[in-house]
Each structure stands twice: as C-alpha cells, then as structure tokens.
Structure 1
Amino acid sequence: MSEKPFTDQELLAYLDESLSVALMSEVEATLRSSDSLRVRLATLSRQRNDGVHSVGEIWRRNRLSCPSRSQLGGYLLETLPSDYHEYIEFHLHETGCRYCQANLEDLKAGLSAASQDSNRRRQKYFQSSAGYLSADKDE
C-alpha cells in the first residue's frame, strides 16, 4: 500500500489540530499503518520543541492570518467591506480554519440567544403595557 506524501506543514498543522476534518482523518489513517510517517512526525515535533522554527511556523502557531473575534462578528452581521468579507469567507471555507469556524459557531449561538432574550423582553413590555392601555380606554 503506497502512502500519500504529506508535507511538513500538513504534519505540523496535524499536531496543532488545524487541518480540515477530512485531512486530519487521512493523516491519522496513514499514521496507523506507516512507521516512517510516525518517525517523521516525531522528528518534526521534536524539532519544534527544540526551538527550530520557520517564519511560516511562527505565523501558523500564532494564528496571524486568523481574523479577530470582533471581525468574525462583523462577518456574521455582514458589516465588513466586501474585500475583507471575501477574505474571511476564503479563510473559513478554503483553508478550513477550524479555530475560526468554532469561533464563528460560538458567535452564531450567542446571537441566537440574544435574539431570543430580546423577543422575550419585548413580549413582557407589550404585556405589561397592554394592561395600562386598556385601562386608559375604560376611563
């Protein structure tokens, strides 16, 4: 069985759990059957822990290309300039950044909860005001 050649960047991203789900599964399946890939991954991990870093590694590890949480909120509310909106779209869907996807899902859940709270408050205000309005009509 020939194994798929993974790049060093893909293997380092695997260690950071920042690959797409499909590619993570592919690496894991190959690791189960390939001693050479396990050795290579261990070597990369050891080099990283020994302080051997490239500019690309520092960029990925510190998530310098990831948008901030407030920028993801702007993306969700569609208030960003179109170029930046397209960049975030690319970052989420093409690069498959799981960190940003999780942040976006968290923001969506918070937005949904805030909307439900707002609707409940609006109903309570209406119900409490309705009694006053009907009392004014009777007088």
Structure 2
Amino acid sequence: MSERTDADLQAFLDESLPAAQMAEIEAELRDDTELHQRLATLRGQQDAGMHGLGAIWRRYRVSCLSREELGQFLLGVMDDQAAEYVRFHVQRIGCRYCEANLEDLQGQQREAATQTATRRRKYFQTSVGHLKK
C-alpha cells in the first residue's frame, strides 16, 4: 500500500481517477482508519469552500478536451502535438471524463459507418432494376 497524497484523495472524491486506482483506494479505505479520517477532513474542507488551485483545475476540467477536439483526434485531422496531448491526457493521466467522451464518439463513429453501409446497400438494391444492360 503506497502513501496516498491529498491530491490523490481529492481526485478520488471528484471521481476523476482511473477505475483501477479508485478501486485500490476503496479497498484501502476499508482497512485504514487514518486514511478514512484524512478523506473525511478533505471532504469537510471541500464542503467549507476551501479549494486549492489543483482542486479548481480538476473540478472545472481545465485540461480536458472538448468533444469537438476529441472528434478531430478520432478523424486524424489534429496536428501531431495536439494528438500527442490527447493520448497523454486520456492514456497516461487517465481522465475518465475524456475517456468516456472518446468512447462515446467512437461508438457514434461506428454507428454512422454502419448506417452509411446499410444506406448504400439499399440504394444499390433499389436501383438494380433501373440499370441499363
């Protein structure tokens, strides 16, 4: 069990950690009363309006990408530096918010591709009788 920082615990409260790390902290909280007390103190500070710059940054998702930017990433039209930041933010930092948006956009992209293929097939099937020999 590693020593948890206040930033880790604050991110846990904000549910902004990767799922595996959230599960680790939950398991540690079951057995560690000191950790549980630290978490309660942080929650109290948060409720009392005591916020640090990092907490404000995370809460307002300042470093997160818009859906438009994530869409550009999926389409491969982003410049290399911006695309590298998306990979870093989603894969290395593990931003659950951006990861969920990215997965949603990928699902929409797959659905659109399926609909396009279906539409083309139907157009072809309905026009077969009208083709000249």
Q: TM-score range by the shorter chain?
A: over 0.9
Shift of 1:17: 1.2
For each residue in 1:49-75, what CA deviation from the matched residue of structure 2 results, as whole angstroms up to 9, or x when unmatched? 110011111110010100101101111
Shift of 1:29: 1.1
Q: How many residues are treated as equivalent by the alignment? A: 133
1:57-136 correspondence to structure 2 within 5 Å: 57-133=55-131, 136=132
Q: TM-score, normalised by structure 1?
A: 0.92
Rounded to whole Å, the distance in 2 between the matches of 1:110 and 1:96 is 22
1:36 matches 2:34 = yes
Gaps of 5+ in 1: none
1:22 matches 2:29 = no
Runs of 4+ in 1 over 4 A off after TM superposition: none
Query: Is the partner of 1:63 in helix, strand or coil?
Result: coil
Q: RCO greater where, 1 or 2, for CA within 8 Å and sep 6 or more?
A: 2
Rounded to whole Å, the distance in 1 between the matches of 2:71 and 2:21 is 27
- Which amino acid counterpart does residue 111 of structure 1 have in structure 2? Q
Rounded to whole Å, the distance in 1 between the matches of 2:71 and 2:92 is 19
**Greater CA deviation, 18-27 or 95-104?**
18-27
Q: Kindly report the root-mean-square deviation, in angstroms, between the aligned alpha carbons of the 2 structures.
A: 1.0
| Higher-Rg member (1/2) | 1
Shift of 1:130: 1.2
Tell me which residue corresponds to 1:45.
Answer: 43
Q: TM-score, normalised by structure 2?
A: 0.96
Rounded to whole Å, the distance in 2 between the matches of 1:79 and 1:99 is 22
